[in-house]
Structure 1
Amino acid sequence: MKTSALPWMLVLPVLLTLAVLAGVTWGSAQLGMGQVWAIVQHQMAQALGMQTAAPDWSMQQHQIVWMIRLPRVLMAALVGAGLSIVGVVMQAMVRNPLADPYMLGVSSGASVGAVSVLAWGVFAAVGLYAVAAGAFIGALLATVLVYLLARQGGRIPSARLILSGVAVGYMLTGLTSLVTLTAGQRDLANALLTWLLGSLAGTQWQALGLPAGMVLAGMLWLLAQARPLNALLAGDEAAATLGVAAERLRRQLFVVVSLLTGTMVAVSGAIGFVGLVIPHVTRMLVGSDHRRVLPVAALMGAVFLVLVDGAARTWFAPMEIPVGVITAFVGGPFFIAMLWRGAVREEG
C-alpha cells in the first residue's frame, strides 16, 4: 500500500544505523553492540583530536571493529544503495519492471572489464582505480551494444530490449568465464570465481572513497532529473509534450548507469537481485515519483545488503558464503511471489 515517503525517510536511517552496528557486531569474534559503539566513538574522537578515556577493550577487538568489519559493512551499505539507484533508473528509462543491471547485460560488461584488469593488468597505469576503470568501460560498452541492438525504428521496444540484454549478458558471461579459466594462475582463478559471485571480503577504508563519491554524485544528479524521469514513465511522446528530450536524457542516463554499475561491480563483484527487487518494493510503498523513490530505495537497498552481508559471514561460519548467493536465495523467491500476486506489470 502506497504511503508518504516521510515516515520511511525517518525510519530507514535509524534501521540503517542499527543494521551497521549489528553487522559490525556479528562474526566469529563475539562483540557487544555497546562495545562496538564505544570503539567507533573512540576512534572518531581521536580523529578529531579530542581527549578520550582509556579504552577497556583489547587491540585485537579494536582491529576487528575498526579495520576489518566496519569498512566492510559501510561498503555493503554503499553497494546496496548504488545498485538500488541503478535499478530504479533503468526501470524508468526503459519503462520495463524487469530491467536491472544484470538483465540488461550491464553488470556482465562491467565484470568482463574488471576481470580483464585482475587477470591481465589492463589499465594498470591508473593504479588504485584500474579495476573501476575497467569495469566502467566494460559496462559502458555493454550498454551501448544493448542499446544499438534493441533500437528499432527510432524506438526501443521493451521486449526487444530485454532479449538484447539477455543475449549480450550471456555472451559476456561466457567471455568472463573464458578470461577466468585462461588466467594461468589457479589462485587467481579461484579469487576471480569468488569475486564473480559477489564478495565484500577484505574491504579497506581507502576503497570506500570512490563508491561513496559515485553514489552521492549520482544521487544528487538523478534527484535533479526526478521530474524528467517521471515523464519518461509516461512514454516518449508524453515526455516530449512536457518539454523533455527523451532520447538525450536516456543517453545521459545510460552513462550514469554505467558509471554507477561499473563502480559497484569493481568493489563488490556481481551481486544480483538488489537492483531488481528493491525498486519494486519501494514503488509499492511510496508510489512512482522519483523524488521519493530514489532516496527511499537507496536507504532500503543499503539496509538490505548490510543484513545480507552479515548473513553471508555468519550463517555457515567459519566458511563465508558469497553475497550474491544469499541475494539470489532471498530475491528469487520474493520476485516469484510478486509475479504470482501480479505486482509486476509492464509499464506502458
Structure 2
Amino acid sequence: MLYKINHSKGLRLLINIIALIVLIISIGLSISIGVARIELSTVWDAIFHFDPEITNHQVIQELRLPRALSATLVGAFLAVSGSVMQGMTRNPLASPSIMGVTDGAAFALVITLAFFPTISFIGSTFASFIGAGIAVIIVFAIGSMSTGGLTPVKLALAGVAIGTMLSSISSMIALHFQLEQQMGFWLAGGLAGTSWISIQILLAAGCVGLILAFTIAKSITVLSLGEDVATSLGQKNIIIKLLGILSVLILTGAAVSIAGAVGFVGLIVPHITRFIVGTDYRWIIPSSAIFGALLLVLSDLVSRLINAPFETPVGAITSLIGVPFFLYLARSSGGGKQ
C-alpha cells in the first residue's frame, strides 16, 4: 500500500496549483487534438472570440469543448466520490461501484431504451440518475437491516449482490430488445455523446454534491481515524455517513449517467492524493477533484489517439491503469482497512 507522507501547507498548495495548470494545458490539448488537428491559438479564439462563420470554431464550441469539460467534471466527481467512500469506510479498496451506482444507472437506462425508445437525451440521463439513486437506497437499506447495522463489509456485500442482480436483469432485457449495440459503448465508458446539456447536468449535480463533500471533509478526517475515536470526540457519525452517501450518490450518479461505466478513477486517485497531500480530507477531497479531472482528460485524449481514427472507450484506458493498481492494493493491504 502507498505510504502516507505529510507536507507543509505551502507545498500542498504548490502541488495543487501545478496540477491545476497541467489540467488546463491538458484540456487545451484535448480540444486541439482530434481527427483534424486544430492549433491552440484557434482554440483560444474559439473560446474567447467565437465566430460562428468559422468551421473550426463551431467544431470546438459544439463538440470538443463540451467533451473536454465533461471529462474534467466526470473525473473530478468520480475521484471525490472515491475519496469520500474510502474515508468513511476506512477501506482502501472502496469505490463508488460497490454501492451499485453503475449497475442501477445501467438498469434504468436499458428500461428506458426498451420501453420508451423515443425519450430525449436529457430524459434518459435523468432516468439513469434515478436508477443509480434507487440502487444506492436498496443497498443501504439491506445493509442497515442486518444484525449489527451497516458496516463496510455489509455495504460491499449488499452492493455486489444488488449490482449483480441488476446487471443480470439489464443483460436479459438488452438481449430481448436487441439493445446490445446501444448499451455496449455506454457500459465500456465513453464521452463521445456529450454536449452542453451534459455540462448543465454535471454542473447542477456538482453544485450540490461537491459542496456536501467539502462541508463534511473535516468530519471524514475524524471518521477515518475510527468510529470509536469519532464518537468519543462528539461527532454524529450516522449524519456524516448519510451526507457522505448522498454526496457519492449525486456525484457518481451524474457522472455515470453522462459517461457510462468509467471504472477505477474513484479507486486510484484518492490513494495518489493521500500520498501527495497527506491524510487531511480538507486537502484530499479538493486535490482528488483536480487529479481525477486530469486523469480522465488525459485518458480521453489517449482513447482518441491509441487507435485513430477510431475511438477506444475511455473506460478501457482507465481499466488498463486501474486493474494493476487494484491488484497491488489488494496484495499489499489484503483488502483490509487503511
**Structures share a fold, TM > 0.5?**
yes
Partner of 1:327: 318
Distance in 1, Cα, partners of 2:18 & 2:190:
28
Contact conserved, 1:8 with 1:296, CA < 8 A, in 2?
A: no
Contact conserved, 2:93 with 2:326, CA < 8 A, in 1?
A: no
Partner of 2:337: 347
Distance in 2, Cα, partners of 1:139 & 1:6:
35
Partner of 1:94: 89
Superposed displacement of residue 319, structure 1: 1.3
Superposed displacement of residue 84, structure 1: 0.6
Contact conserved, 2:208 with 2:247, CA < 8 A, in 1?
A: no
Q: Does 1:174 align with 2:198?
A: no
Deviation string 1:249-274 (CA, Å, 9 cap, x unpaired) is: 21232222222221111111110000
SS in 2 for 1:102: helix
Q: Which of 129, 141, 151 is matched with 1:148 structurally?
A: 141
Q: Which of 129, 132, 135 is matched with 2:128 structurally?
A: 135
Distance in 1, Cα, partners of 2:117 & 2:162:
22
Structure 1 residue ranges, 4+ long, deviating more than 6 angstroms after superposition? none
Contact conserved, 1:272 with 1:327, CA < 8 A, in 2?
A: yes
Q: Does 1:248 align with 2:236?
A: no
Stretch moving more, 96-105 or 151-160: 151-160
Q: Which of 292, 300, 304 is matched with 1:313 structurally?
A: 304
Paired residues for 1:237-276 under 5 Å: 237-276=228-267
Alpha carbons of structure 1 residues 161 and 122: separation in structure 2 relative to 1, 3 Å: farther
Q: Give the letter for the 2:133 counterpart.
A: L
Q: Give the letter for the 1:161 counterpart.
A: L
Partner of 1:50: none
Q: Which of 4, 7, 11 is matched with 2:18 structurally?
A: 11
Alpha carbons of structure 1 residues 90 and 140: separation in structure 2 relative to 1, 3 Å: same
Q: Give the letter for the 2:47 counterpart.
A: V
Deviation string 1:274-307 (CA, Å, 9 cap, x unpaired) is: 0111111111111221110111000100011011
Paired residues for 1:74-223 under 5 Å: 74-121=69-116, 129-151=122-144, 152-184=146-178, 188-223=179-214
Distance in 2, Cα, partners of 1:136 & 1:254:
15
Deviation string 1:171-194 (CA, Å, 9 cap, x unpaired) is: 22212222322234xxx5312211
Superposed displacement of residue 20, structure 1: 0.3
SS in 2 for 1:18: helix
Distance in 2, Cα, partners of 1:263 & 1:173:
19
Distance in 1, Cα, partners of 2:153 & 2:248:
20
Deviation string 1:219-252 (CA, Å, 9 cap, x unpaired) is: 2222111122122212322222222211232123
Distance in 1, Cα, partners of 2:149 & 2:24:
44
Partner of 2:225: 234
Q: Give the letter for the 1:42 counterpart.
A: H
Superposed displacement of residue 207, structure 1: 2.0
Alpha carbons of structure 1 residues 229 and 100: separation in structure 2 relative to 1, 3 Å: same
Partner of 1:28: 35
Alpha carbons of structure 1 residues 119 and 2: separation in structure 2 relative to 1, 3 Å: farther
Paired residues for 1:299-310 under 5 Å: 299-310=290-301
Distance in 2, Cα, partners of 1:345 & 1:180:
34
Alpha carbons of structure 1 residues 167 and 131: separation in structure 2 relative to 1, 3 Å: same
Distance in 2, Cα, partners of 1:229 & 1:33:
41
Unaligned runs of 5+ in 1: 47-54
Distance in 2, Cα, partners of 1:316 & 1:294:
34
- Identity fraction in percent: 35
Superposed displacement of residue 91, structure 1: 1.3
SS in 2 for 1:303: helix
Contact conserved, 1:123 with 1:133, CA < 8 A, in 2?
A: no
Unaligned runs of 5+ in 2: none
SS in 2 for 1:332: helix
Q: Which of 273, 276, 280 is matched with 1:289 structurally?
A: 280
Distance in 1, Cα, partners of 2:298 & 2:86:
25
